[in-house]
Structure 1
């Protein structure tokens, strides 16, 4: 039989068994070998993961249907015993038993009643060595498996990809009890969350501002504002950060890197979880996560996520934050064809963070930032960011099998979303009138309304040829995207406010659009063509990756009191590419490097020429190494990067970002360190450190690069007691922070330092039977700190000490 066909079957079975939680290791053994003694160090966990580790340690194929493992806990399994002895400990009290399976494998069945086959059918053995089958990406605890949807090669093991892609797994999200996916990215080196006045979260990755976030690999970079939707945490499976120019995923690149959120999908594993959370400021959540096979059908599975949360107020004193989510999806597969369809509706009313500023004149040179006590509400406690988003999405794939010696697979993903945003916020102006009372500064309320419709589609045709000594993967892709966005903004009259007291308060500014309303419209389409090659050879030790793509954009940008007073039409095109390789020097160390080039179109007007600014160009060199330690349960990544951007557009200090000043370039160089995985049974860590230096290349811009700290660091560890009367008890502790970061007023010549900070968090949890309980304290020392800021009139104040209690009950 041809190798290409055999490889295709292994890939198909791997995808199916991922959701079913089956696990086996490569190799074939006889029942006699099931009596061989092995040394096991398997921590307590869900039954599927425990059986997974037993099989990996022993090299024994083990099969079981989805329903038998769902919702059961087992372990720890420690000591030198046989496979059957280890399984007997894992299955004790579950009503399950081990029976011989085909070809020397073992099968887990119900001890009484219907057989395992009747309950759902045995799962075929799959060839896995460094991956777990307990989820679709092979993540094991804190350690990531495949690169996921942060690239166009989602099934490739991370060690084979010569690009830095960091992953925050679902276990990390659970351990840290994060309530937003954006908080999770602070685990990654070179990434920090900064202050942004627009209501959308802004990140810094490798020194460059990033505001676009893709969902399941689909995004629309290059079309300006991406809306203000945040994916609710109860729908998030993992978060991926792709470093450097991101043309491999989005065509038009994002500065410094990109963030991809992977959401939960239909699964063969029966899921019936109910979660509740209660925290500071009256924060309350009720969430349901249901999934599994649809009864009476074959190959049809579903996932249904429903959640709602509400808070009395936030740490800044703004009231009535709330969020609602409904996200059903269904998937059908017959082994070669897979069809997925789903809907996501979310409604969010987020409260503004608390922020302060530096006075434009008369600032204290030693302490220039105005110190505002936490909880001091400015203008009105009902300021809010209201977002309503509906997304409809579908995926189709078909494995054509062996055609002319190659395995051919077709994939198509499409998402349409529509969103409406209503924002009531305010802005510090940083100035004061001579007659203003002492301590008062000018500010005003701002009301903005956004609406947008967006369609994104990705088509891939993948051909895989396996010659035995080498494997070649070729991918041909076509991307299409379109967006229609409109915005209206009204500014209230300037008011003198005492920021320390928050007085005087005002009525909420809710004007009707009038002659003073400023409008912005963006209409655009983009079409991209991509060719990607991945070549694996030398006993699968050398991995070469190359991709090139051409993108053609057409969009129209209008602004003014009608939205069309100042209109510009742009037709940017560009070629982007990536070339790199990874080599397994030893089974425990992989060296990699790449060079990437990307471009970022802009729809803003060059304020010197009056024409649409030319696209920004980016060029990256990156080198690194991945170390696989402690029986490959711990991954350590060290990398160096040199990223340069030319023809960079900077928002006009007075006219805003519809008009830009073009500078020759910016450069960013640095080193990054990431570590994640298991130190010893039950003890998991995730940590990072980065040193980044960013500067303008033009002598006309001598100011430090605003909003970018040179050093960032984070560390989180958790330990679960493995045996004894306290087994299942988990303790967690961590800290994160960054060094000082510069900020300024854009066009001004003065620069200021925003002080760095370090905060510490702690957690205690307990798993027993079907319950999982957790109590988390954030910012234990109640540190008062500022976030890095891109502008001196918007410096975020970090949240003080707060707590969150969560409980989850699994019915299965």
Structure 2
């Protein structure tokens, strides 16, 4: 058997034991008494297990040489005994069709395609768990959106992808259409490849990564997500980019669709050395649309993403680059008529003022990471990231109401922003055992340095009154000259440590993170100001395996966000402190082909920043809020060919104290969020496979202001896809918003109520050359 064939993910292999094993009378008798044995050489332990259940074992001597088995406690089956004995060891367990169990070498010598590219259900995290735990083993609710699922759904933007994420609300409350989001009611700045970067711009980390280069989206919910950075209090979204592998791949696809959509993508990957240890990948895409569903400029994007990888038994090193340019046409919107509390009767496809309003995002990102196994007990990981972003905006932003019906005072917005970020993250992970207890200790350090420069239109254009009903008068031209408004350099340091202890059916974790930061405000024409803050946060978690398929978990953490926002008097607003808790269960169903996770959470923050009602453009500090709710996620393949993903979150929001400035209702946050998507594919011949997929996503109503004066109605959208694979040819035809329902997004402004997409179609054709 080749080394490559021997490589198997242990969790998937052990799930097959229940299917492949045949019960013998002697085994049934042994199960009644169970098996317990102390830690001992792995070869001896496996032989004892085989003899106890009278079953043959195929053991690779080189795979188990020098290894010590874990203690086995009251195992009721050979499957359970092997699982206990080999947990945490670099061996793979395979089951042949005749029930014979093989113990093989689990060291992956060459790089292979990640499971997120081939499966809808993902069991292992890629970069978010520094302790190397699977989703089942983590003391938090983690949801993974695979690129395979996004491919089936024909998702084309981060906003579309995150409709699969429970508890995540994508921001649509500004005319810039900024791809930012909240997780369980709190803003998250996101992460890319496990590196969390507090963002000084209106865009979250990862928003600048086009979907063709995304391998998976890890939605890290719950208290432990704070370990990835102090700014993600309710959770965070970790974008993982695609990696090279030794598999040869050349896939070309093209899209056409509504509103003049045209797109092409090339994904080329292969080993570039004779021993398959060096591999390279290039992903390139280009696409544009004539206009969006509101009649504004269509989205346009270009991507070039090369990467190089070296992988052997002890080293995994990856260097990659992402160069992209994206244009986002302004999000279509309507305006609320305060007289009758109804939206103005404007056609959905009619732009307000002009159609050429947009925001441009340019991104150049370099990543490097290395995982080095120094010894069986020691692994070192180092990551680095350099990012340059440019943002340009050109739009008319509604600012106030006039005295005449339909008169709106628009601000002629024009701005340019440049930001740079350098991020280093490294840690060492040690593992060892003392008797029946397995330990992992992790210590690491993070360094972040960013600088943002903001340019504003010069001279600042005067507001213009425009009537949205009569479409008069003719609007002024956009600004053509810009001047520096401010610069904001930020330096943050973080150190962290984690400890994991596992014994019997218990997994206990504890963590510390220290954050310190300094920022400077260099506002043109004003004295420079500098601020520094530091804080240590803690988190604790536990997982208890009730059965081989069911576990319960709980975690609690303190959080801290360094606030660098100034009020109207140029005084820094107070930092934010949080206390977050979560408890729930994880249940493997259908012979571990489906994972169900359900949890209850409670998130509390001390301070909430709100818009200053007296001074436009400034913020004030108000009492914090308490968010509590339930979060349910399901993903997997209950029967062969049928894939299902679903999520439901219900959250209750309330302020810690009444506030006359912002009201008593948490606005722009729906109480209920839900989504479900299922697809079924079946071969009809040796070369032809047909399939159908469909889903529904939506949310409950949400208040526009803190007093419940106006509400955005509930939203629901149905999507449908039909698939066909004919030899190497793939065809996917989809219709989004099948019933052409008029939906609106959450908003904080009665002057800006954003529409969600109208009915549209997409056709994707792909061909596998290799």
* Pair 1:510-2:486 in alignment: no
* Residue of structure 1 in register with 2:462 after alignment: 493
* Residue of structure 2 in register with 1:766 after alignment: 724
* Residue of structure 1 in register with 2:371 after alignment: 397
1:177 and 1:364 map into 2 onto residues whose CA distance is: 39
* Pair 1:238-2:228 in alignment: no
1:27 and 1:523 map into 2 onto residues whose CA distance is: 51
Q: Which SS does the other structure have where 2:218 is aligned?
A: strand
1:719 and 1:169 map into 2 onto residues whose CA distance is: 17
* Residue of structure 1 in register with 2:621 after alignment: 662
Q: Which SS does the other structure have where 1:312 is aligned?
A: coil
Give how far 1:470 is off: 2.7
* Residue of structure 1 in register with 2:312 after alignment: 334
* Residue of structure 1 in register with 2:170 after alignment: 193
* Residue of structure 2 in register with 1:213 after alignment: 190
Give how far 1:106 is off: 8.8
Give how far 1:578 is off: 1.4
* Pair 1:752-2:710 in alignment: yes
Query: 456-465 vs 333-342, which deviates more?
Result: 333-342
1:337 and 1:724 map into 2 onto residues whose CA distance is: 42
Alignment of 1:107-186 (within 5 A): 125-126=104-105, 135-136=113-114, 141-153=119-131, 155-186=132-163
How many residues are matched? 691
Query: 134-143 vs 292-301, which deviates more?
Result: 134-143
* Pair 1:565-2:563 in alignment: no
* Residue of structure 1 in register with 2:286 after alignment: 308
2:623 and 2:165 map into 1 onto residues whose CA distance is: 30
Give how far 1:523 is off: 0.4
Aligned residue among 360, 371, 374 for 1:386: 360
1:16 and 1:374 map into 2 onto residues whose CA distance is: 57
2:241 and 2:455 map into 1 onto residues whose CA distance is: 32
Retained in 2: the 8 A contact 1:240–1:261?
yes
1:566 and 1:751 map into 2 onto residues whose CA distance is: 41
* Residue of structure 2 in register with 1:790 after alignment: 748
1:497 and 1:531 map into 2 onto residues whose CA distance is: 57
Ranges in structure 1 where 5+ consecutive residues have no aligned partner = 1-12, 37-57, 64-101, 108-122
1:714 and 1:299 map into 2 onto residues whose CA distance is: 41
Retained in 2: the 8 A contact 1:357–1:430?
no
**Per the alignment, do residues 732 and 378 of structure 1 end up closer, same or farther by CA in structure 2, a change over 3 Å counting?**
same
* Residue of structure 2 in register with 1:355 after alignment: 333
Query: 298-307 vs 696-705, which deviates more?
Result: 696-705
Give how far 1:138 is off: 7.4
Superposition TM-score, scaled by structure 1 size: 0.79
Retained in 2: the 8 A contact 1:379–1:445?
no
1:683 and 1:505 map into 2 onto residues whose CA distance is: 55
Give how far 1:729 is off: 0.7
Q: Which SS does the other structure have where 1:323 is aligned?
A: strand
* Pair 1:281-2:255 in alignment: no
* Pair 1:460-2:394 in alignment: no
* Residue of structure 2 in register with 1:94 after alignment: none
Q: Deviation above 6 Å: which 4+ runs of structure 1?
A: 13-16, 21-24, 26-29, 58-63, 102-107
Retained in 1: the 8 A contact 2:141–2:598?
no
* Residue of structure 2 in register with 1:544 after alignment: 508
2:293 and 2:56 map into 1 onto residues whose CA distance is: 52
* Residue of structure 2 in register with 1:429 after alignment: 399
1:62 and 1:376 map into 2 onto residues whose CA distance is: 70
Alignment of 1:631-710 (within 5 A): 631-656=591-616, 659-701=618-660, 702-710=663-671
Alignment of 1:476-487 (within 5 A): 476-487=443-454
Query: 477-486 vs 673-682, which deviates more?
Result: 673-682
Alignment of 1:282-297 (within 5 A): 282-296=260-274
Give how far 1:645 is off: 0.3
**Per the alignment, do residues 254 and 506 of structure 1 end up closer, same or farther by CA in structure 2, a change over 3 Å counting?**
same
Give how far 1:125 is off: 4.1
Give how far 1:378 is off: 2.2
Retained in 2: the 8 A contact 1:569–1:612?
no
Alignment of 1:68-79 (within 5 A): none
Give how far 1:354 is off: 0.5
* Residue of structure 2 in register with 1:711 after alignment: 672
**Per the alignment, do residues 16 and 170 of structure 1 end up closer, same or farther by CA in structure 2, a change over 3 Å counting?**
farther
Give how far 1:332 is off: 1.4
Superposition TM-score, scaled by structure 2 size: 0.83
**Per the alignment, do residues 246 and 594 of structure 1 end up closer, same or farther by CA in structure 2, a change over 3 Å counting?**
closer
Aligned residue among 497, 503, 506 for 1:531: 497
**Per the alignment, do residues 647 and 258 of structure 1 end up closer, same or farther by CA in structure 2, a change over 3 Å counting?**
same
Give how far 1:383 is off: 1.4
Deviation track 1:676-709 (CA, whole Å, cap 9, x = no partner) reads: 1112111111111111111211222533111101
Give how far 1:796 is off: 1.0
Give how far 1:508 is off: 4.4
Q: RMSD of the TM alignment (CA)?
A: 3.4
* Pair 1:630-2:594 in alignment: no
* Residue of structure 1 in register with 2:48 after alignment: none
Larger relative contact order (C-alpha < 8 A, sep ≥ 6)? 1
Retained in 1: the 8 A contact 2:145–2:218?
yes
* Residue of structure 1 in register with 2:35 after alignment: none
Deviation track 1:453-472 (CA, whole Å, cap 9, x = no partner) reads: 10011011111114462321
* Residue of structure 2 in register with 1:574 after alignment: 535
Give how far 1:629 is off: 0.9
Retained in 2: the 8 A contact 1:574–1:599?
yes
1:636 and 1:311 map into 2 onto residues whose CA distance is: 39
Q: Which SS does the other structure have where 2:624 is aligned?
A: strand
Retained in 1: the 8 A contact 2:607–2:622?
yes
